[in-house]
Amino acid sequence: MKKILHTLFTYSGLILYLIDAALIMLHFNKCNATGADYLTTYYGVLKGLLLISLGIYYRGKVLHAKKLEVLYLIFSFLGDVLLMSYNFQIYIFGGVFFLLSHIVLIILFSVDWKKVTFISYVFILPGFLLHAIFLYPHLIKPEMQAINFLIYSLILEIAAASSIGRMYKFKKINSHFTLIAVGYFFFLVSDFFLLYKEITQTPTDFKHAIMGTYIIAQFLIVKGLTQPPNDKSDD
């Protein structure tokens, strides 16, 4: 019976996520094509459902959930919902919850940087340079918004670097490691577009790029969390 329930949760969560993601992207396409609000009334619900459906998927795939992984899902959900607010104080709390979600995974990865290999730093470099070259010049100024964005970006960079830096823990590269590392790269790209648009106020429409990469990132990270690490500590 438990196996049936886990299978039901897995597939229902996955299907719900794919449908939800498709509706969000359809909403953006229709709004751009017609200039009218397509699913704006339901957009908040659709955005909130992303992490709920991933939570259902996670519950189906994992027999014994880890507290830190559950916290990641909860904080990401709260970040998703609160960032939709037009109230700046509430919007800031959304950013704080996303910050906490990355800190949780930094703790989970618990990288000993003295053991990080040269090849890990090579893979870390592209994501770091993306923010350092194209985003940080806009954030180095004495404004509260810029400082907040810079702190968030640095924590995100540390989380992404940690997802790769822990390579030394594995006897061989597996799906758990690869999915999370690639997922975090997509997260870096997504938040680069988001933070760049917010800080520069560019009229360029990045909605497709922001949400498309975010949807991929969250799925890959959560999918990776459901895979067995099979690291050296298992010996």
Q: Where exactly are the structural domains of the chain?
A: 2-234
Q: Is the pLDDT of residue 34 over 70?
A: no
pLDDT digits (tens, 9 = 90+) for 196-219: 999 999 988 898 999 999 999 999
* Mean of the per-residue pLDDT values of the chain: 91
Q: What is the mean pLDDT of residues 113-132?
A: 97
Taking the C-alpha atoms of residue 153 and residue 100, their distance in angstroms, rounded to an integer, is: 12
At 98, list the tokens.
């996303």
Token pair of 86 as six digits: 């037009």
Which of 39-48, 83-92, 215-224 is the most confident on average? 215-224
Q: CB atoms < 10 A from the CB of 87, how many?
A: 9
Whole-Å CA distances, 155 to 23, 93, 128: 31, 16, 11
pLDDT at residue 87 above 90? no
Instruction: Calculate what percentage of the chain has a pLDDT beyond 70.
Output: 93
Report d(CA 202, CA 225) in Å as an integer: 35
DSSP code, position 172: S
pLDDT at 37: 61
Q: What is the mean pLDDT of residues 161-165?
A: 98
